[in-house]
C-alpha cells in the first residue's frame, strides 16, 4: 500500500466498507468525505489502478455498471495499514497521557 496515493487508499477503504459498491456509490461516499465533487476522470482511472495492482476486483453488474470489491490482498493491505497506524496513534495517546499525569 506504500505506493498508493492518499486518494487511492481512500478508494480502497470505501470499497471495503460498502456492500457491493459500484462507481457512483463510491463517488458519493468520497464526495461526502472530501466535501467536493469527484470527477469521473479522477475516479475511474484510480479504480483501474487498484484493479491492476490486484487490490480490487472489478465485475460487471449490468451493461453500464461495474461493481468493485477488495481482494484478499487488498484486505490484508488494509489490515497491515491499520496496524501500522495504530502503533503510532497508541504511542501518541500514551505519550499524551504521561504528559498530563
Alpha carbons 12 and 39: distance in angstroms, whole number: 17
pLDDT tens per residue, range 36-83: 999 999 999 999 999 999 999 999 988 889 999 999 999 999 999 999
CATH classification code of 6-100: 1.10.10.10
Q: Which three cell numbers stand for residue 15?
A: 470499497
Q: How far is CA 27 from CA 7, 41, 60, 73, 90, in A?
A: 12, 11, 17, 23, 31
Domain residue spans of the chain: 6-100
Give the global pTM: 0.84
Q: What is the mean pLDDT of residues 4-12?
A: 97
pLDDT band, very low/low/confident/very high, at 18 (cuts 50, 70, 90): very high
pLDDT of 95 reads: 66
Nearest Cα neighbor of 50 from 6, 2, 11, 23 is 11
Amino acid at each position: 500500500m506504500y505506493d498508493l496515493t492518499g486518494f487511492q487508499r481512500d478508494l480502497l477503504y470505501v470499497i471495503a466498507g460498502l456492500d457491493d459498491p459500484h462507481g457512483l456509490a463510491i463517488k458519493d461516499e468520497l464526495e461526502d468525505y472530501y466535501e467536493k465533487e469527484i470527477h469521473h476522470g479522477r475516479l475511474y482511472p484510480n479504480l483501474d489502478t487498484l484493479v491492476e495492482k490486484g487490490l480490487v476486483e472489478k465485475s460487471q453488474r449490468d451493461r453500464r455498471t461495474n461493481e468493485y470489491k477488495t481482494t484478499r490482498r487488498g484486505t490484508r493491505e488494509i489490515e497491515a495499514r491499520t496496524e501500522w497506524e495504530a502503533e503510532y496513534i497508541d504511542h501518541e495517546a500514551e505519550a499524551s497521557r504521561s504528559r498530563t499525569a
